[in-house]
Amino acid sequence: MGCMFSQLAAKFAFFPPSPPTYQITKSENGKLTVVSSSSSMPIPLADDSSLDALLIDTKHGNKIVAFYLKNPYARLTLLYSHGNAADLGQLYDLFVQLKVNLRVNIIGYDYSGYGASTGKPSEYNTYADIEAVYQCLQTEYGVSQEDLILYGQSVGSGPTLHLASKLPRLRGVVLHSGILSGLRVLCHVKFSFCFDIYQNINKIKKVKCPVLVIHGTEDDVVNWLHGNKLWKMAREPYEPLWIKGGGHCNLELFPDYIRHVCRFVQEMENMTTEIRLKKIRQNLRLPTRSNNTAVSANRCCCRIKCWRPKCLGCPKTSCIKCSWRLKCPKCWIPSCARCCRSSPKCPKCMRPCCWIKCLNCRCCVETNSGLNEKQNG
């Protein structure tokens, strides 16, 4: 039943352009080139020397197309997951602008069943698609997760958060008109169902890097409340961008969009490992030390056998048996045979006179005073 609902939800979630806006051809030297299949596209994709067209195999057996645009001054790489009604041919102009303005390398890909990619679009195919693209970045371009920013627009927020939840050292995440889940776009529900797709509401909590949320206040496709909820649930939320009057597909036209994203990328570039560790410690919110903590620390110190004064009468530590016994004033050892046997005894209690400073001092004093009176008489 859940599988049937998932397939039904996929039909409402994915709208690949038909026909695709581009085609992939192979030149004589074996290099893949991109040819526009629409006469309305002004830029010839095949003439861009910074563009690498890639065919990537996924673990589900599909071949997906990816565009990699190089920037010689870039320090970070942006992995872009697009919305549900576009393909790479329509996004090429945006990729060029982001590459220049953000000073990043950028890679975008078409989901299975989109553009020139094979297969059929589905939730789990998109997960396999973004995982294959990430592996390609690692093997072909040497990009590590520390130098990677994931960008997800609309439905693309699903595969973006799926991968981000598995990469603990990721540099950053951008959620552009993101969704809480597929079912929550259609109706306002407070619970997650097994047949729901893209349950980002559960995955956002697992992301351990800064998260920038961008959403339009007049979005009539994905309500602004989705973006607000994702921002509040993020473990390390970045200052969000709520574009007043912005819809679902026109946020890139607002000046605040590129300005805010550029500031986010620059801060991610300047973020060192030391700064990230400091933020992680602050987010942990460790409790302050109290008196109870100090007492427990002392107890723990005793448990690991730190130095404590030992009983002089026996080798034990804090001996209860010997601690209550009276001690010899000469050597302070209980029952001292060496000092006490040789000392004269009290005539009344027959104890050594060395105890005169202890409990029997009254007995000894009375005896001594009586002897002195007889001698005087």
Which active-site residues does the annotation give?
A: 154, 219, 248
Cα 30 from Cα 371, distance rounded (Å): 126
> Among residues 50, 37, 54, which one has the least CA distance to residue 105?
50
Q: Exposure of 377 by Cβ count < 10 A (0-12 exposed, 13-18 middle, 19+ buried)?
A: exposed
Neighbouring CB atoms inside 10 A of 10's CB total 19
Q: How many helices (H) and strands (E) does the chain have?
A: 13, 10
Cα 210 from Cα 204, distance rounded (Å): 11
Whether residue 342 contacts residue 310, with contact meaning beta carbons closer than 8 Å, is answered with no
Residues contacting residue 269 through CB under 8 Å, at least 6 positions apart: 75, 76
Please calculate the CA angle 176-83-189 and round it to the nearest 5 degrees. Answer: 70
Q: What are phi and psi of 25, to 5 degrees?
A: -125, 160
